[in-house]
Amino acid sequence: MEDFNAVEILIVEDNPRDAELTLRALKKNNLANHVIVAKDGAEALDFFFCRGKYESRSFANPPKVVLLDLKLPKVSGLEVLKIVKGDKRTVHIPVVAVTSSREEPDMKEAYELGVNSYVIKPVNFDQFLSSMSSLGLYWLLVNEPLK
């Protein structure tokens, strides 16, 4: 049984390839020790709100950053964002939209909903690695979360 309270990075990603590539990037920087992957929006919400299989998790131990893909089955990334940023218990959790989409409406809506950062996943893997690395380093080491 994993200790969900120790999770530092939540990756919400339905595409297992992307998830693996992301993890690989984090691992390269030794940032993948406390990472879990949610396969869709519904699971992500369970995590945020400590329900379902994340019942054991406490609001008091929020992740240091959530990497949220916007195109998700069941509940879309923007919907997740909306709920998370609309709830006092979760609004302070840094959420970074990580998406393939360059579509302006997505970006615009995400920011309006209160996303903390917006990162586009490059096709080029080298660029992808460097993006993910800097993302992980920043949120885990540089950024000061709310205690």
Using CB under 8 A, list all residues that contact another protein.
15, 17-18, 21, 24, 71, 99-103, 121-126, 128
Residue 17 CA to chain centroid, in angstroms?
Answer: 16
Residue closer to another protein by CB (options 104, 144) is 104
Residue closer to another protein by CB (options 61, 124) is 124
Tell me the CA end-to-end span of the chain in Å, nearest whole number. 26
Nearest of 78, 118, 111 to residue 96 by alpha carbon: 118
- Contact by Cβ (8 Å): 49, 43: no
Minimum Å distance from CB 18 to another protein? Answer: 6
Q: Which residues have a Cβ under 8 Å from the Cβ of 74 and sit 6 or more positions away?
A: 40, 41, 42
Minimum Å distance from CB 129 to another protein? Answer: 8
Residue closer to another protein by CB (options 63, 77) is 77
Token digits of residue 79: 């919907």
Q: What is the DSSP letter of 49?
A: T
Minimum Å distance from CB 100 to another protein? Answer: 4
Residue closer to another protein by CB (options 47, 128) is 128
Q: Which amino acid is at 82?
A: K
Tokens 């992980």 belong to 136
Residue closer to another protein by CB (options 58, 124) is 124
Minimum Å distance from CB 106 to another protein? Answer: 8
Minimum Å distance from CB 21 to another protein? Answer: 4
